[in-house]
Protein backbone atom coordinates (compact mmCIF):
# COMPACT_ATOMS: atom_id res chain seq x y z
CA UNK A 1 0.00 0.00 0.00
CA UNK A 2 1.47 3.42 -1.01
CA UNK A 3 1.47 6.17 1.60
CA UNK A 4 -0.99 8.18 -0.48
CA UNK A 5 -3.59 5.45 0.00
CA UNK A 6 -4.29 7.14 3.30
CA UNK A 7 -3.88 10.73 2.15
CA UNK A 8 -4.02 13.18 3.99
CA UNK A 9 -2.50 11.02 6.68
CA UNK A 10 1.12 10.04 6.36
CA UNK A 11 3.04 7.34 8.18
CA UNK A 12 6.01 8.21 10.28
CA UNK A 13 8.25 5.46 11.56
CA UNK A 14 9.72 5.34 15.04
CA UNK A 15 13.27 3.99 15.35
CA UNK A 16 11.86 0.77 16.76
CA UNK A 17 9.97 0.33 13.50
CA UNK A 18 6.53 0.91 14.98
CA UNK A 19 4.28 3.03 12.77
CA UNK A 20 2.56 6.13 14.12
CA UNK A 21 -0.04 7.97 12.12
CA UNK A 22 0.17 11.77 12.28
CA UNK A 23 -1.54 14.54 10.37
CA UNK A 24 1.09 16.69 8.65
CA UNK A 25 -1.28 18.80 6.62
CA UNK A 26 -1.05 22.59 6.58
CA UNK A 27 -4.16 24.75 6.70
CA UNK A 28 -3.77 25.75 3.02
CA UNK A 29 -3.39 22.09 2.01
CA UNK A 30 -6.52 21.31 4.00
CA UNK A 31 -8.54 24.06 2.30
CA UNK A 32 -7.32 22.87 -1.14
CA UNK A 33 -8.37 19.31 -0.27
CA UNK A 34 -11.78 20.48 0.94
CA UNK A 35 -12.32 22.41 -2.29
CA UNK A 36 -11.24 19.35 -4.28
CA UNK A 37 -13.82 17.13 -2.68
CA UNK A 38 -16.67 19.20 -4.14
CA UNK A 39 -15.29 19.45 -7.66
CA UNK A 40 -17.53 16.73 -9.05
CA UNK A 41 -20.51 19.04 -8.49
CA UNK A 42 -19.02 21.75 -10.69
CA UNK A 43 -20.55 22.52 -14.10
CA UNK A 44 -18.03 24.83 -15.77
CA UNK A 45 -14.86 22.98 -16.80
CA UNK A 46 -13.02 26.16 -17.80
CA UNK A 47 -13.55 27.82 -14.42
CA UNK A 48 -12.59 24.62 -12.64
CA UNK A 49 -9.43 24.30 -14.75
CA UNK A 50 -8.52 27.93 -14.04
CA UNK A 51 -8.90 27.35 -10.29
CA UNK A 52 -6.86 24.15 -10.35
CA UNK A 53 -4.13 25.94 -12.32
CA UNK A 54 -4.07 28.73 -9.72
CA UNK A 55 -3.77 26.10 -6.96
CA UNK A 56 -0.93 24.45 -8.91
CA UNK A 57 0.92 27.76 -9.25
CA UNK A 58 0.94 27.98 -5.46
CA UNK A 59 1.87 24.38 -4.76
CA UNK A 60 4.12 23.00 -7.50
CA UNK A 61 7.87 23.52 -7.03
CA UNK A 62 8.31 24.28 -10.75
CA UNK A 63 6.51 24.41 -14.09
CA UNK A 64 2.87 24.18 -12.91
CA UNK A 65 1.96 24.90 -16.54
CA UNK A 66 3.84 21.85 -17.88
CA UNK A 67 1.63 19.36 -19.72
CA UNK A 68 2.19 16.32 -21.85
CA UNK A 69 1.02 16.74 -25.43
CA UNK A 70 0.09 13.59 -27.33
CA UNK A 71 -0.16 13.28 -31.10
CA UNK A 72 -0.13 10.38 -33.57
CA UNK A 73 2.08 9.87 -36.60
CA UNK A 74 0.89 8.70 -40.02
CA UNK A 75 0.89 5.06 -38.82
CA UNK A 76 -1.24 5.93 -35.80
CA UNK A 77 1.75 5.42 -33.49
CA UNK A 78 1.42 7.87 -30.57
CA UNK A 79 4.06 10.44 -29.63
CA UNK A 80 4.09 12.32 -26.35
CA UNK A 81 6.26 15.10 -24.96
CA UNK A 82 6.16 17.87 -22.34
CA UNK A 83 5.19 21.39 -23.38
CA UNK A 84 4.42 24.57 -21.44
CA UNK A 85 0.87 25.90 -21.56
CA UNK A 86 1.14 29.58 -22.49
CA UNK A 87 -2.46 30.69 -22.65
CA UNK A 88 -5.80 29.34 -21.62
CA UNK A 89 -9.38 30.54 -22.10
CA UNK A 90 -12.74 29.15 -23.19
CA UNK A 91 -11.28 29.19 -26.70
CA UNK A 92 -8.76 26.53 -25.72
CA UNK A 93 -5.27 25.63 -24.51
CA UNK A 94 -2.38 27.35 -26.31
CA UNK A 95 1.26 26.33 -26.65
CA UNK A 96 4.07 27.48 -28.91
CA UNK A 97 6.49 25.44 -30.93
CA UNK A 98 8.28 24.87 -34.19
CA UNK A 99 5.72 23.84 -36.81
CA UNK A 100 8.41 21.85 -38.67
CA UNK A 101 9.06 19.66 -35.60
CA UNK A 102 7.70 16.13 -35.22
CA UNK A 103 4.71 17.39 -33.25
CA UNK A 104 4.21 20.23 -35.71
CA UNK A 105 3.95 17.81 -38.64
CA UNK A 106 1.66 15.46 -36.72
CA UNK A 107 -0.72 18.17 -35.56
CA UNK A 108 -0.86 19.82 -38.97
CA UNK A 109 -1.63 16.41 -40.55
CA UNK A 110 -4.33 15.28 -38.10
CA UNK A 111 -5.67 18.49 -36.56
CA UNK A 112 -5.91 16.61 -33.25
CA UNK A 113 -4.05 16.39 -29.95
CA UNK A 114 -4.48 15.37 -26.33
CA UNK A 115 -3.04 17.03 -23.24
CA UNK A 116 -2.41 15.80 -19.72
CA UNK A 117 -1.56 17.86 -16.65
CA UNK A 118 -0.38 16.15 -13.49
CA UNK A 119 0.07 18.26 -10.38
CA UNK A 120 1.91 15.94 -8.04
CA UNK A 121 1.64 17.93 -4.82
CA UNK A 122 -2.11 18.35 -5.31
CA UNK A 123 -2.65 14.77 -6.50
CA UNK A 124 -4.72 16.02 -9.38
CA UNK A 125 -4.80 15.25 -13.09
CA UNK A 126 -6.57 16.99 -15.97
CA UNK A 127 -6.87 15.37 -19.40
CA UNK A 128 -7.93 17.21 -22.53
CA UNK A 129 -8.72 15.87 -26.01
CA UNK A 130 -9.50 18.16 -28.86
CA UNK A 131 -9.17 19.64 -32.28
CA UNK A 132 -6.23 21.92 -32.97
CA UNK A 133 -6.12 25.25 -34.73
CA UNK A 134 -3.23 27.64 -35.34
CA UNK A 135 -3.20 30.86 -33.33
CA UNK A 136 -3.34 34.16 -35.23
CA UNK A 137 -0.12 35.85 -36.34
CA UNK A 138 -0.88 38.69 -33.93
CA UNK A 139 -1.12 36.28 -30.97
CA UNK A 140 2.05 34.47 -32.00
CA UNK A 141 3.93 37.76 -32.45
CA UNK A 142 2.79 39.02 -29.05
CA UNK A 143 4.02 35.91 -27.28
CA UNK A 144 7.22 35.62 -29.35
CA UNK A 145 8.14 39.23 -28.65
CA UNK A 146 7.66 38.68 -24.90
CA UNK A 147 10.40 36.01 -24.91
CA UNK A 148 14.03 36.64 -24.03
CA UNK A 149 16.13 37.80 -26.98
CA UNK A 150 18.32 34.67 -26.75
CA UNK A 151 15.22 32.46 -26.93
CA UNK A 152 14.14 34.31 -30.08
CA UNK A 153 17.61 33.76 -31.56
CA UNK A 154 17.33 30.10 -30.55
CA UNK A 155 14.08 29.75 -32.49
CA UNK A 156 16.01 30.68 -35.64
CA UNK A 157 18.91 28.38 -34.82
CA UNK A 158 17.03 25.21 -33.89
CA UNK A 159 15.75 22.89 -36.58
CA UNK A 160 13.67 21.24 -33.87
CA UNK A 161 13.38 17.42 -34.05
CA UNK A 162 15.76 17.05 -36.99
CA UNK A 163 19.12 15.24 -36.69
CA UNK A 164 22.02 17.24 -35.20
CA UNK A 165 25.55 16.02 -35.93
CA UNK A 166 27.19 17.71 -32.95
CA UNK A 167 26.51 20.41 -30.33
CA UNK A 168 28.98 22.60 -32.24
CA UNK A 169 26.61 22.65 -35.23
CA UNK A 170 23.84 24.12 -33.03
CA UNK A 171 26.21 26.65 -31.44
CA UNK A 172 27.34 27.75 -34.92
CA UNK A 173 23.70 28.20 -35.98
CA UNK A 174 23.07 30.29 -32.84
CA UNK A 175 26.12 32.48 -33.56
CA UNK A 176 25.03 32.98 -37.17
CA UNK A 177 21.47 33.94 -36.18
CA UNK A 178 22.82 36.29 -33.49
CA UNK A 179 25.06 37.95 -36.09
CA UNK A 180 22.21 38.23 -38.61
CA UNK A 181 19.97 39.94 -36.06
CA UNK A 182 22.68 41.85 -34.21
CA UNK A 183 20.89 45.11 -34.94
CA UNK A 184 17.21 45.68 -34.23
CA UNK A 185 14.47 43.23 -33.38
CA UNK A 186 14.59 39.47 -33.91
CA UNK A 187 11.57 38.65 -36.11
CA UNK A 188 9.43 35.58 -35.54
CA UNK A 189 10.47 32.74 -37.85
CA UNK A 190 7.70 31.79 -40.30
CA UNK A 191 7.71 28.20 -38.99
CA UNK A 192 7.36 29.19 -35.32
CA UNK A 193 3.89 29.78 -33.93
CA UNK A 194 1.23 28.50 -31.57
CA UNK A 195 -1.39 25.78 -31.52
CA UNK A 196 -4.70 26.06 -29.72
CA UNK A 197 -6.33 22.81 -28.58
CA UNK A 198 -10.09 23.34 -28.65
CA UNK A 199 -11.42 20.78 -26.20
CA UNK A 200 -13.95 18.11 -27.03
CA UNK A 201 -13.44 16.62 -23.60
CA UNK A 202 -11.89 17.73 -20.32
CA UNK A 203 -11.53 15.25 -17.50
CA UNK A 204 -10.73 16.12 -13.88
CA UNK A 205 -9.26 13.51 -11.54
CA UNK A 206 -8.48 13.76 -7.89
CA UNK A 207 -6.79 11.24 -5.69
CA UNK A 208 -8.94 9.63 -2.98
CA UNK A 209 -7.96 6.97 -0.44
CA UNK A 210 -7.63 3.33 -1.48
CA UNK A 211 -7.59 4.20 -5.21
CA UNK A 212 -11.27 5.16 -5.08
CA UNK A 213 -10.49 8.38 -6.90
CA UNK A 214 -12.99 10.96 -8.10
CA UNK A 215 -13.29 11.51 -11.86
CA UNK A 216 -15.58 13.78 -13.77
CA UNK A 217 -15.53 14.33 -17.54
CA UNK A 218 -17.09 17.08 -19.64
CA UNK A 219 -17.72 16.08 -23.26
CA UNK A 220 -19.15 17.74 -26.35
CA UNK A 221 -19.48 16.76 -30.01
CA UNK A 222 -17.96 19.93 -31.48
CA UNK A 223 -15.65 22.62 -30.10
CA UNK A 224 -18.53 25.12 -30.17
CA UNK A 225 -21.09 22.78 -28.57
CA UNK A 226 -22.40 22.50 -25.03
CA UNK A 227 -20.63 20.20 -22.60
CA UNK A 228 -22.41 17.35 -20.90
CA UNK A 229 -20.96 16.02 -17.69
CA UNK A 230 -20.47 12.45 -16.48
CA UNK A 231 -18.79 10.83 -13.53
CA UNK A 232 -16.47 7.90 -14.21
CA UNK A 233 -15.41 4.94 -12.13
CA UNK A 234 -11.82 5.41 -10.96
C1 LIG B 1 9.01 20.96 -18.97
C2 LIG B 1 9.21 21.03 -20.47
C3 LIG B 1 8.62 22.05 -21.18
C4 LIG B 1 8.77 22.14 -22.57
N5 LIG B 1 8.14 23.14 -23.25
C6 LIG B 1 8.24 23.18 -24.60
C7 LIG B 1 7.50 24.17 -25.34
O8 LIG B 1 6.77 25.01 -24.77
N9 LIG B 1 7.61 24.16 -26.71
C10 LIG B 1 8.38 23.24 -27.38
O11 LIG B 1 8.43 23.28 -28.61
N12 LIG B 1 9.09 22.29 -26.70
C13 LIG B 1 9.02 22.24 -25.33
N14 LIG B 1 9.72 21.27 -24.64
C15 LIG B 1 10.51 20.30 -25.40
C16 LIG B 1 9.57 19.17 -25.92
O17 LIG B 1 9.28 18.26 -24.86
C18 LIG B 1 10.17 18.38 -27.10
O19 LIG B 1 11.43 17.85 -26.75
C20 LIG B 1 10.33 19.24 -28.35
O21 LIG B 1 9.27 20.15 -28.51
C22 LIG B 1 10.42 18.35 -29.59
O23 LIG B 1 9.26 17.54 -29.65
P24 LIG B 1 8.84 16.79 -31.02
O25 LIG B 1 10.09 16.20 -31.60
O26 LIG B 1 7.86 15.74 -30.59
O27 LIG B 1 8.22 17.82 -31.91
C28 LIG B 1 9.58 21.19 -23.24
C29 LIG B 1 10.18 20.16 -22.52
C30 LIG B 1 10.00 20.09 -21.15
C31 LIG B 1 10.64 18.95 -20.39
Domains along the sequence of the chain with CATH: 1-37 (no CATH), 43-232 (2.30.110.10)
Active site residue 211: yes
C-alpha 94 – ligand 1 centre gap (Å): 13
pLDDT at 17 over 80: no
Q: State mean pLDDT over 135-153.
A: 98
Number of other CB atoms surrounding residue 117 within 10 Å? 22
3-state secondary structure 37-103: HCHHHCCCHHHHHHHHHHHHHHHCCCCCCEEEEEEECCCCCEEEEEEECCEEECCEEEEEEECCCHH
In ligand 1, the atom with minimum distance to the C-alpha of 71 is 26
Mutate to test the pocket of ligand 1, among 97, 191, 194 (most ligand atoms within 8 A of CB): 97
Using a pLDDT cut of 90, give the percent of the chain over it. Answer: 84
Q: Is a pLDDT exceeding 60 seen at residue 154?
A: yes
The pLDDT score that the predictor gives to residue 27 is: 59
Write out the H or E segment, with its range, that includes residue 176.
helix 167-180
What pLDDT, on the 0 to 100 scale, is given for residue 91?
98
Does residue 130 or residue 14 have the better pLDDT? 130
pLDDT, tens digit (0-9, with 9 covering 90-100), for 18-29: 444 444 556 556
- Catalytic residue, candidates 196, 211, 219, 231: 211
What does pTM read for this prediction?
0.88
Query: Which atom in ligand 1 lies closest to the alpha carbon of residue 86?
Result: 8
pLDDT in tens, 158-171: 999 999 999 999 99
Amino acid sequence: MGWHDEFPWRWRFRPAGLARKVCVMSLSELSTLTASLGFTERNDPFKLFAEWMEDAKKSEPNDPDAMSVATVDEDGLPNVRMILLKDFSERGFVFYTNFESQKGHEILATGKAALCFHWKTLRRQVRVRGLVETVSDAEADAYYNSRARDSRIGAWASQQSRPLKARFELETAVAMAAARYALGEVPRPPYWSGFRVRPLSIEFWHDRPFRLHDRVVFRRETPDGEFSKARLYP
